[in-house]
């Protein structure tokens, strides 16, 4: 799912796994490798809340 740049402020519920800057930010935020972060994002279906919960379990 690509990041929709026209949805300013409305697209915060999701993480676009296809956008490297979003994966990099998520990885840095949770202290994960880029590969781990991408896997978690895909497992959560792009849902930011679910991805954050899954990443918290990894710690």
Q: How far apart are CA 39 and CA 46, in angstroms?
A: 10
This prediction's pTM: 0.80
Residue % of the chain over a pLDDT of 70: 83
Residues 6+ apart with CB under 8 A from 42: 17
* Token reading at 43: 């497992």
Q: Please say if the pLDDT value at position 4 is more than 80.
A: no
Dump pLDDT digits (tens) for 9-31.
657 889 988 999 999 999 999 99
């Amino acid at each position: 799912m690509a990041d929709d740049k026209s949805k300013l402020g409305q697209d915060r519920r999701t993480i676009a796994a296809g956008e490297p800057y979003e994966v990099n930010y998520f990885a840095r935020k949770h202290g994960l490798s880029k590969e781990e972060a991408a896997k978690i994002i895909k497992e959560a279906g792009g849902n930011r809340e679910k991805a954050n919960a899954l990443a918290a379990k990894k710690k």
